[in-house]
Structure 1
Amino acid sequence: MTTPSVSGRVRPAQRLTLTDDVYESLKTLIMEHAIAPGDRVSIDGLARTLEVSPTPVREALARLESDGLVRKRAMSGYTTTPLLTRAEFEELFEMRLLLEPAAAARAAGHATADDRALLQTEAAAQPAVESGDGYRRHAAFTALDARFHDLVAEVSGSALLRDAIIRLHSHLHLHRLYFPSTTQAGDTAAEHGRIATAVARGDADAAADAMHSHLTAARTRHLPAFTR
């Protein structure tokens, strides 16, 4: 494997928070495809790149395995998780449709005034990148989308539900980085706005319905990528 360059992607690992810093650095390299889906991961190569010992790299890879972003096989080490197949993509959205409407309904019942204000702010947020800058704008949009969904899950008040949702999102982000044209920021923002409004009203049924409609529409927007 060619050791990826961290220039412009991640900052060198900081000693004070070494394990977390290495984890975030490796996650960024995987999510941005600096280490391609299905590639072998070189522990020694990454340790040299990040200027750390192999130990925090191994610890970070164990966490990334739990996240579903890398796989470990006996005698062959770690590889990054391949991109989703059409069947895996459908299964992922089936799980999202089970979990995220429930999280939105719980959020409507648990949200504080500050939570409601933050959700509406995040729903209205726009990528801080010029519209003509395709990849960077897509990456910024992906980050905004993840932040909104993770915030809904957090406001739900269920740590287990939030953890399950975040792990599912990691797989989807890998897919979206490979197929950036499948996202439509305007539609997504409007759908997020309807979810945030329902949560702000404390209407659990409306929040669940809005999340269900949003995820169904998002699935439809992504499907054309599998026919190319």
Structure 2
Amino acid sequence: MTRDPVAAAVRLPARQNLADDVHEALKAMIMDHVIEPGARVNVYALSRELGVSQTPLREALAHLEADGLVVKESLRGFFVAPLISRAQFEDLFEFRLLIEPWSAARAAERCGPEGHRSLRAELATCTDVPEGGEYADYKAVATHDHRFHVLVAELSGNDNMPPAFERTNCHLHIFRLFYQTYVGTAAIDEHGAVTDAITAGDPEAAEAAMRRHIESSRARLRAAFD
């Protein structure tokens, strides 16, 4: 750890599902690099510092392992996952370009008024881009970004698409690396263009809009790598 996690973590509220609160607190520490990539997660120390038992901590760590943010090593415990490499980044976007434009086109063909309303409602949840660079500042934007792409996959009508996309945990890895580069007015506008094409029932335009969005995102992030 590079600094005291208690100083960076929000006090855990007294809620019924404590594991969810602990999960969000630990995620914030990882996303903000309070616990550095590759560092061992000291369950005993965190239990004392957060004022919770080890049970909700271990539940939260299991959730974070599923998110791809921590890895469990036999007889050694939990470690924060390393940041994705340039090669992994390229593989991730290659995969997204294979499945997401297709999903957008199928959504334009198959979803009706209810799906259109869902897309418009999701767009309305994120109209402003926060200025801060910590997880607490951009959490709402990251959550919207993830929800939007999952929703398009769901509206494709192919039940295999949402889990295939979610297994990549792509938005967590991207935001962990490059929040300030990735998020901006351009990304929000691109979501709007995808939505316009889907709600117009134009599969070719929807496929092209999603492809442009993913390619533009990749170009913005490549610049950060360089």
Asked if 1:17 corresponds to 2:8, the answer is no
TM-score, normalization by structure 2: 0.81
Partner of 2:53: 53
Q: Secondary structure, in 3 states, of the residue corresponding to 1:196?
A: helix
The 2-side partners of 1:93 and 1:186 are apart by 20
Partner of 2:111: 111
Q: What amino acid is the match of 1:42? A: N
Contact 1:13 / 1:50 at 8 angstroms: preserved in 2? no
How many Å apart are 1:93 and its aligned residue?
0.7
How many Å apart are 1:141 and its aligned residue?
4.3
Change (3 A) 1:155 1:47: farther
Partner of 2:133: 135
Which segments of 5 or more consecutive residues in structure 2 lack a partner in the other structure?
none
Supply the RMSD in Å over aligned alpha carbons: 2.7
Number of aligned residues: 220
Which segments of 5 or more consecutive residues in structure 1 lack a partner in the other structure?
none
**Bigger mean CA offset, 79-88 vs 31-40:** 31-40
Contact 1:13 / 1:22 at 8 angstroms: preserved in 2? no
Deviation string, structure 1 residues 42-100 (Cα, Å, up to 9, x no partner): 11222223322112211221221122111112232111111121111111111211222
How many Å apart are 1:21 and its aligned residue?
3.0
Change (3 A) 1:106 1:51: farther
Q: What amino acid is the match of 1:172? A: I
Identity of aligned residues (%): 42
Asked if 1:194 corresponds to 2:196, the answer is no
1:65-214 aligned within 5 A = 65-123=65-123, 125-127=126-128, 129=130, 133-135=131-133, 141-158=141-158, 160-166=160-166, 167-177=169-179, 180=180, 182-183=181-182, 185-214=184-213
The 2-side partners of 1:84 and 1:176 are apart by 11
Contact 1:127 / 1:144 at 8 angstroms: preserved in 2? no
Change (3 A) 1:205 1:33: same
